[in-house]
Amino acid sequence: MNKKAFDIALQEIEQLNLKVLESKYEPLVFGSWLISVKRKPDIRLVWDGKDYELSIQEKTKKKIRGFPIWEPIWSTLKPNDDDFGFCLTKFKSLAV
């Protein structure tokens, strides 16, 4: 996963006219990125560049020090292009 994957995911999500709550690419944090969208509950697509983990997470009502806890719905380590495509399709189907 890289900046190109982030750009592709964000573009496809925006084409669905979903309300993007947050999108950020962190080149200095191992190229990690996330895109969260409004839903009940909110969900986000996350690439953890340090651990090479791609995941879909759902916001819970639980909090730690005022910050929400996100729990994984789906994840994979060291994903390939097929995993990314599957994850993006799954994310879009959950978000609408």
| Sequence spans of domains, the chain | 3-95
pLDDT on residue 96: 84
Bridge partners of residue 19, in order along the sequence: none
Q: Token digits for 10? A: 């964000």
Cα–Cα distance measured from residue 24 to residue 6, given in angstroms and rounded to the nearest whole number: 9
Asked if pLDDT for residue 73 goes beyond 80, the answer is yes
Band the pLDDT of 80: cuts 50, 70, 90. Answer: confident
| DSSP per-residue string spanning 21-71 | EEEEEETTTTTEEEEEE--SS-EEEEEETTTTEEEEEEEEEEEETTEEEEE
Residue 66 confidence (pLDDT) above 80:
yes
Task: Classify 7 in phi/psi space as left (phi over 0), alpha (psi -120 to 50) or beta.
Answer: alpha
Q: For 11-63, write each residue's pLDDT tens digit.
A: 999 999 899 999 999 998 999 999 999 999 999 999 999 999 999 999 999 99
Cβ neighbours of residue 51 closer than 8 Å, sequence gap 6 or more: 77
87, pLDDT greater than 80:
yes
Which pTM does this prediction carry? Answer: 0.90
Q: What are phi and psi of 83, to 5 degrees?
A: -60, -40
